[in-house]
Amino acid sequence: MITFDKVTKVYPDGTRAVDGLSLDLPTGKITVFVGPSGCGKTTSLRMINRMIEPTSGTIGIDGRPTSSLDPVTLRRGIGYVIQSGGLFAHRTVLENIATVPLLLGWGKAKAYGAARELIERMGLDASLTSKYPAQLSGGQQQRVGVARALAADPPVMLMDEPFSAVDPQVREQLQDEFLRLQAELGKTIVFVTHDIDEATKLGDQVAVLRVGGTLAQLAPPADLLADPVDDFVADFIGRDRGYRALAFVAAPALPIQPEATVELGATREQVAAVAAGAPWVLVVEDGAPVGWVAPERLGATVGRDDLHRGGTVARVGGSLRAALDAALSSPSRRGVLADDDGRLVGTVSATDVLTEIERDETGPPS
Amino acid sequence: MTWFLDHLALVGSLLLVHAWLAVVPLLLGLIIAIPLGWLAERNRVLRPILVVGTGLLYTIPSLALFILMPLVLGTGILDPLNVIIALTVYTVALLVRTVVDGLSAVPETVRQAAIAMGIGGARRFFTVELPLAVPVISSGLRVAAVSNVSIVSIAALLGIAQLGSLFTDGFARDFLDPIVVGIVACLVLSVVLDALIIGVTRVLTPWVAARSAA
């Protein structure tokens, strides 16, 4: 566990970056520091590995104050991922990842072995091993950055806006991979972001900081969305809180209806027969839903260009938010549900999802 | 051309001396400029003093510097050491700013990442910051190399033999051949030094070629 005890940082020019911050960051969990710029989130992060020294107060790791530890030894035992990777442009991917193991004196064979293992684990192609960072895409660089931080298998990882420099689609992918990895590794992670959606998606607990470096609220994401402690937190979390909170509620057994489908490539006549007058028919390919078609706007057969792709697909057993969104985004108003392998299970209406939400007697999650 | 062929041995030996007088200060200047640049890059107060101060050294006329050297160093007027030290001064003048620029171009995130991994002071400088500054320093070194080759020839006025002697000789005898040969030899020397620096830089920075190929 990492503990902040009345930690304050005042810069020589009088700027109070962090002010009396006290909180616990449990072992094996992700704690996210989130807040507007100037809230001291990065300063707080960097005080953990003593890149910045607190003016007063104590930070402890497993009960030992970091001030009692040698900064270099401390840092080599803490993984650090920085925005846009901070990779060494003059070193190959393998050398970058092996940096800390080599510094720790593991020897080349063991250090590079560990680095190769991580390249695989991060889903990076083995052919990238001897490439230089400039030859990688933004997403690949970020994965190498995470791999480098993990290389010496540190129990603690500090991540400073690690995914903010990549485009939204890649960011989401990186976030999902990160959560999968964390489920395997169980590191104690401190994650800094200015993006509240990222914070609620990734955090086991979220610490919202205000400008001036004080803690506004520390809570699990669902509680934060359901019960913001004051106007500042409510404003910072933003709109659609009720809807977003549904992301943290697993969907109960929904009344899933069977859906008549046509295969991709079916003829106009086949579609008309299945539709039986309905305005939209679901198209599947090898059992996986691929989109909806409107029978009257169809050519001779169902091609990919005919598909309406606005509808999202929810996973059975996923969140209520995903199920509701599938229904709301579907042109037929029937939300498509698939199993873990992506095969169609059936559809559910928004009304049925809402009924489930209302039936949940606990009210909004708290 | 006949003059050149007749004096092949002379031109060859002058060329070697010329190269020696240009290259040794280049290396000495680099060795001095790196710590000065390092100091200037990290110290806000020293930075303008060092960068502007060393830069001003370049404005001292070379002839004056060559003549001043014996007075300062107590060397003989014909001592090649005068040339070597004067040109080292010029090289430092050109390179301090370049080293500062090269080190400043190292992205802050890279520096922070290095600190966060426990890569301290000297190790960080030699394994991260300096290697990343090599391309910029190398371009400054190429300018200094050409500058040195050209300035060395002025030492002929003091009677220190090198390719510049061909200019004074040709001028004194109103004879064009040695002057042309001298110019061509200087050009060849500059091109060879330039190619050498480019070559060494390529070997030191395989990542730059990888970047431009990507």
**Is pLDDT above 90 for B173?**
no
**Which ipTM score applies to this complex?**
0.84
Confidence grade of residue A366 (pLDDT, cut at 50, 70, 90):
very low
B115 touches chain A (CB under 8 A): yes
Q: Report the CATH number at residue A97.
A: 3.40.50.300
Average pLDDT score over chain B: 89
User: Are B119 and A99 in contact (CB < 8 Å)?
Assistant: yes
- Chain A: nearest CA to B102, how far in angstroms? 14
CB B106 within 8 A of CB B151: no
Closest to B197 measured CA to CA, from B120, B129, B95: B95
Do A153 and A228 fall into the same domain?
Answer: yes
User: Which residue of A88, A134, A148 is in closest CB contact with B211?
Assistant: A134
B121 touches chain A (CB under 8 A): no
Q: Which of A80, A88, A97, A140 best probes binding to B when mutated, by most B CB atoms within 10 angstroms?
A: A88
User: Which residue of B114, B116, B131 is in closest CB contact with A49?
Assistant: B116
Average pLDDT score over chain A: 89
In a domain, A90, yes or no: yes
Residue numbers in A near B115 (CB within 8 A): 51, 75
In three-state secondary structure terms, A119 is helix
Cα–Cα distances (Å) from A366 to A33, A198, A219, A242, in that order, read 20, 20, 10, 12
Confidence grade of residue B146 (pLDDT, cut at 50, 70, 90):
very high
What residue in A sits closest to B208 (Cα-Cα)?
A: A90
Q: What is the mean pLDDT of residues B47-76?
A: 86
Highest mean pLDDT among A91-95, A345-349, B52-56: A91-95
Do A324 and A295 fall into the same domain?
Answer: yes
The pLDDT tens digits of the residues spanning A29-64 come to: 999 999 998 899 999 999 999 999 999 999 999 999
Do A231 and A133 fall into the same domain?
Answer: yes
**Is pLDDT above 60 for B37?**
yes
Do A87 and A222 fall into the same domain?
Answer: yes
Residue with structure tokens 């790196």? B34
Quote the pLDDT of residue B214. Answer: 56
In a domain, A292, yes or no: yes
The pLDDT tens digits of the residues spanning B64-108 come to: 888 888 888 888 878 888 889 989 999 999 999 999 999 999 999
Q: What is the mean pLDDT of residues A179-194?
A: 94
- Sign of the torsion formed by the C-alpha atoms of A212, A218, A220 and A226: negative
The pLDDT tens digits of the residues spanning A152-166 come to: 999 999 999 999 888
The DSSP code for A136 is S
Q: Residue B190 corresponds to which tokens in the numbers above?
A: 């500059």
A190 touches chain B (CB under 8 A): no
Quote the pLDDT of residue A159. Answer: 96
Do A50 and A149 fall into the same domain?
Answer: yes
The pLDDT tens digits of the residues spanning A252-272 come to: 788 888 888 888 888 888 888
**Is pLDDT above 80 for A360?**
no
**Is pLDDT above 80 for B15?**
yes
In a domain, A366, yes or no: no
Q: How far apart are the first and last CA of chain B?
A: 48
User: Are A158 and B128 in contact (CB < 8 Å)?
Assistant: no
Confidence grade of residue A364 (pLDDT, cut at 50, 70, 90):
low
Q: What is the mean pLDDT of residues A92-103?
A: 95
A364 versus B192: the higher-pLDDT residue is B192
Percent of chain B at pLDDT exceeding 90:
48
Residue numbers in A near B107 (CB within 8 A): 86
In three-state secondary structure terms, A206 is strand
In a domain, A365, yes or no: no
Quote the pLDDT of residue B66. Answer: 83
- Chain A: nearest CA to B186, how far in angstroms? 35
Name the helix (H) or strand (E) containing A184: helix A168-185
**Is pLDDT above 60 for A289?**
yes
**Between the CA atoms of A238, A239, A242 and A245, what dihedral angle is there, to the nearest 10 degrees?**
-40
- Residue spans of the domains in chain B: they are 2-208
Closest to A262 measured CA to CA, from A234, A290, A233: A290
User: Which residue of A88, A132, A158 is in closest CB contact with B110?
Assistant: A88
Do A168 and A304 fall into the same domain?
Answer: no
Quote the pLDDT of residue A305. Answer: 82
**Is pLDDT above 50 for A83?**
yes
Do A308 and A244 fall into the same domain?
Answer: no
CB A276 within 8 A of CB A234: no
User: Are B112 and A86 in contact (CB < 8 Å)?
Assistant: yes
Percent of chain A at pLDDT exceeding 90:
53
Quote the pLDDT of residue B121. Answer: 84
B110 touches chain A (CB under 8 A): yes
The pLDDT tens digits of the residues spanning A131-153 come to: 999 999 988 999 999 999 999 99
Closest to B55 measured CA to CA, from B83, B26, B24, B93: B93
Quote the pLDDT of residue B59. Answer: 86
- Count of structural domains within chain A: 2
What residue in A sits closest to B108 (Cα-Cα)?
A: A86
What are residue A189's phi and psi, to 5 degrees?
-115, 135
CB B96 within 8 A of CB B34: no
Q: What is the mean pLDDT of residues B40-57?
A: 88
In a domain, A145, yes or no: yes
- Sign of the torsion formed by the C-alpha atoms of A351, A357, A358 and A359: positive
Q: Residue A193 corresponds to which tokens in the numbers above?
A: 């972001």
A295 touches chain B (CB under 8 A): no
User: Are A103 and B119 in contact (CB < 8 Å)?
Assistant: yes
Do A287 and A231 fall into the same domain?
Answer: no
Structural domain span for residue A220: 2-248
Confidence grade of residue B169 (pLDDT, cut at 50, 70, 90):
confident
B208/B194 Cα distance (integer angstroms): 18
Quote the pLDDT of residue A362. Answer: 57
**Could you please report the per-residue DSSP string of B143-199?**
HHHHHHHHHHGGGGGGT--STHHHHHHHHHHT-HHHHHHHHHHHHHHHHHHHHHHHH
**Is pLDDT above 50 for A197?**
yes
What is the CATH code for B2-208?
1.10.3720.10
In a domain, A230, yes or no: yes
Do A242 and A272 fall into the same domain?
Answer: no
Do A220 and A271 fall into the same domain?
Answer: no
User: Are A100 and B117 in contact (CB < 8 Å)?
Assistant: yes
A164 touches chain B (CB under 8 A): no
Q: What percent of chain B is helix, strand and coil (3-state, nearest 5)?
A: 85, 0, 15
